[in-house]
Amino acid sequence: MSSNLEKNKQEFLEYLEIERGRAVKTVENYDRYLVRFFDHTKVKNPKDITEAKVREFRLWLNRQVTQDGGTLKRRTQNYYLIAIRAFLKFLRKRGITSLSPERIELAKVPQRDLDLITRAELNRLLAAPMQAYKEAEDEAVKLRAIRDNAMLQLLFSTGLRVSELTSLNSDIDLSKDEMSVRGKGDKVRVVFFSSEAKKAVQRYLDERKDLDEALFVNMGRNASEHNDLRLTPRSVERAVKHYATRAGITKTVTPHGLRHSFATDLLQNGADIRSVQALLGHANIATTQIYTHVTDKHLKDIHAKFHNKGK
């Protein structure tokens, strides 16, 4: 890669992080996608990026073999194209001649299937931590169950992303039924507590012995060895998986799965798609629309109940 193109790329990545407020992980991914594109196509300057070069790169991506012996998913291929397109838009904004970003079309991808748990499974999952509490004899295990109950109740009540959950601090104000959270792109939105979530979080705060600023903290055997007790998203994922197993759920259940349950629960009970978009913090309504097909059965029941009853 020429120093000129490298300079353009570096300025673009800095623009993403500083001016667009993208997460560091996102910026790192864009960097990796662009480096792979530049290295494969051997482009030296922005003007060298052509439709033919992009087509050649797409063909190469489509033929890549993954570790499991399959091919690269089209959704994954699109991540590369999105990065290239964003880079080209940045170049145009800076008055640098290159391929028009509109010339790059994303690959058609099948509608994403949501592996949703049933309402009965959700109820069992939410009840699992306190069931573990009742069965425990060790006080540390009991406290961990109280913490995990607060986490699960809060995830389902608010629809928080797991990264948003783990970034919460212990000075959370439970005197109100709502709070502001800072999500993707540094955007702030309001989420709401259910009475169950408020009670669960308050009990957890009352039972805590540490003074760490994080709301949800590590309570493992080695917790005292770390200066920062804040739970990581991976730790929350492991906890959710643990309680799903306890609840006898055979599907893969993740914190994001509870976000799915939050969204579909709202839609199935009559919430409009724009309100759900705001509660989830989606920048684009198209992202929220992946949930609408799960209400098909609900709509079918309404059709059967009310259609053509005047005959």
Return the amino acid letter for 31. D
Give yes or no: 238 in active site. Answer: no
Among 161, 198, 204, 243, the one annotated catalytic: 161
Among 184, 199, 242, 298, the one annotated catalytic: 184
Among 199, 256, 293, 298, the one annotated catalytic: 256
Q: Quote the longest CA-to-CA distance of the chain.
A: 76
Among 85, 198, 259, 260, the one annotated catalytic: 259
Sequence-separated (6 or more) residues with CB below 8 Å from residue 262: 155, 156, 157, 158, 159, 279, 280
Among 53, 85, 260, 282, the one annotated catalytic: 282
Give yes or no: 184 in active site. Answer: yes
Give yes or no: 282 in active site. Answer: yes
Among 30, 204, 243, 291, the one annotated catalytic: 291
Give yes or no: 259 in active site. Answer: yes
Catalytic residue numbers read: 161, 184, 256, 259, 282, 291
